[in-house]
Amino acid sequence: MRIGLGYDVHKLVENRDLILGGLIVPHEYGLLGHSDADVLVHAIMDSILGAACLGDIGRHFPDNNATYKNISSLELLSKVLELITQKGFIVGNIDATIIAQKPKLSPYIDKMRSNISKTLNIDIDKINIKATTEEGLGFTGNEEGIASQSICLLFNNK
């Protein structure tokens, strides 16, 4: 049994879709990044990679590689699944938090959970996603960016 922690943050900008958990969330701003900048999935990937001692997403999907330009983070998550499967791991569960002042995310969380569970080929009851604000404090509270944290439990399948 192994535990991994993940964290990601991206700046909010105009003229980009806001993608969280593989879902376009209606909002006037989107997240800036090389890929689709899905902070939730990025944090989840880092927690999985960390639990498997495989580094982080920058090691596997560098932002200077054109292959990953505007790629769906769910595609990258499926590649992370391949990496951990090769090492004999399976995902036990994931608990993640999105930190954003706006928009209100509760209407979208079940679809995000579904997208992630399908990509990882695990039961949706093994994916928990929460959303919180920082009560107007810091860069997320000032609506300059969105952050996400994730913790993952892996089991060795061998």
55 annotated among ligand-binding-site residues: no
60 annotated among ligand-binding-site residues: no
119 annotated among ligand-binding-site residues: no
62 annotated among ligand-binding-site residues: yes
89 annotated among ligand-binding-site residues: no
Q: Starting at the edge strand that comes first in sequence, how are the strands of the sheet with 145-156 ordered?
A: 30-31, 2-13, 145-156, 89-99, 127-132
14 annotated among ligand-binding-site residues: no
139 annotated among ligand-binding-site residues: yes
146 annotated among ligand-binding-site residues: no
56 annotated among ligand-binding-site residues: yes
**Neighbour tally for 74: CB within 10 Å:** 19
65 annotated among ligand-binding-site residues: yes
Letter string b/e over residues 97-131, b meaning 16 or more CB atoms within 10 A of that residue's CB:
bbbbbebebeebbeebbebbbebbebeeebbebeb
The annotation places the binding site for a divalent metal cation at 8, 10, 42
The annotation places the binding site at 8-10, 34-35, 42, 56-58, 61-65, 132-135, 139
